[in-house]
Structure 1
Amino acid sequence: MATKEKIIELIDKNQNGIEHLIDKKVQIWTEYVLFSGLWWMGVGLSIIPWIIWFVIRKRDSTDRLLYTAFYIMTIAVVSDILGDQFGLWHYRYHVIPVIPTYFPWDITLIPVTMITLIQIKPNINPWFKAVFFSLLASYLAEPFFNWLGVYEPDNWRYSYSVPLQIIFYMSAHALSKRNQFSKLTIEK
């Protein structure tokens, strides 16, 4: 059994290796990715969909939809980090080099698309929208970003994303329908 000191030494050595690799990644990003066409595309995809959504959103549903969007962002970022760290896929042309996920995908494209689908035609069966979204994301968006060279599915198939995207959408839909919030009061 390893001693506490040995465990600390191994963890610190691993951490130093990670820091060295991150430094190298930032250097490569600065020299080759920053201000490239795909970097600018990522910046645009991070901002423009939110502007469009802000214009077309249902004003009286803004808070509820933003609440849902933050939930979606959290799930997307955590899922993407896990997929990246376990070698299922990786991204190139990061907007922000130290974030292992593709910022526009997790922070803008997925949440904005989902909350837009939630607010448009709210009487359509959510399962239909979930399947539509999952097929769109899995068989159009993922292959497109792969073709561009931004996304590389190492040990992942597009079909694996379909059930996950359906679950993500349905959970976001359910969350968007919640209205059990009490008013905040000042405690004395």
Structure 2
Amino acid sequence: MDKREKIEQTGEIYDAFQEVHERFFDLWYHHTFLEWDWWISLFLGVASWVLWFWVRPKASTQRLLYAGTFMMLISLFLDYIGVSVGLWYYSGKLTPTMPAYLPFNFAALPVVTMLLLQWKPRMSKHWKGLIFGLFNGFVGEPLFVWAGFYVMTGWQYYYSVPIYYLLFLIAHAIAHARTYEPLPTQR
């Protein structure tokens, strides 16, 4: 295949993707937007952050936000992979974007992580990670499946537990890292 053929075939695939995205937007606009599942998604996205801003330890805001931002980015990336390879998909979304469920990626998961990081600070990070993994894998995900937001097509709940555990340990390391050295001033 030469360069021209490759560009043409790639363009055809992107055209097909655009058509699928337009069909998804139409479905979202007529059957999700301003419906009960849209309002729940909006509430989940807003209420998570309001709760965290209300209960956060002000002195730890920056380090907790570093850990929360890590969780946002990694969950978005992992969601992209999972949806792209057909392991799951979402319905009842706040926005008509594919593939992520933004209230989970940008609100619920990072906020729960930050709340758990600040809760019982002397508790073992491994116990907290295990609680985080088990809760998300066997309570959070089944609840989202039951509500119809999350549809697993090639994934099992127990696959998620070690992933959530590991992600929590990384977020814990980020939140507990020593402060950075100041940048040297230029002379």
- Give your verdict on TM over 0.5: yes
TM class by shorter chain equals over 0.9
Runs of 4+ aligned structure 1 residues displaced above 4 Å come to none
Residue 178 of structure 1 pairs with residue 172 of structure 2: no
Aligned runs of 1:6-155 on 2, under 5 Å?
A: 6-155=5-154
**Cα offsets for 1:114-160 (capped at 9, x unmatched):** 11111111100010000101111010111111011110010000000
CA distance in 1, matches of 2:94, 2:183: 38
Tell me by how many angstroms 1:180 deviates. Answer: 3.7
**TM-score (structure 1 length as normaliser):** 0.96
5+ residue gaps, structure 2 = none
**Cα offsets for 1:2-46 (capped at 9, x unmatched):** 111111111000000000110111111111100010110000100
**Cα offsets for 1:64-96 (capped at 9, x unmatched):** 101111011001100011100010000001111
Tell me by how many angstroms 1:184 deviates. Answer: 4.2
What percentage of residue pairs aligned between the two structures are identical?
29
CA distance in 1, matches of 2:13, 2:72: 29
**TM-score (structure 2 length as normaliser):** 0.97
1:75 partner letter: I
5+ residue gaps, structure 1 = none
The alignment's C-alpha RMSD in Å is 1.1
Tell me by how many angstroms 1:179 deviates. Answer: 1.9
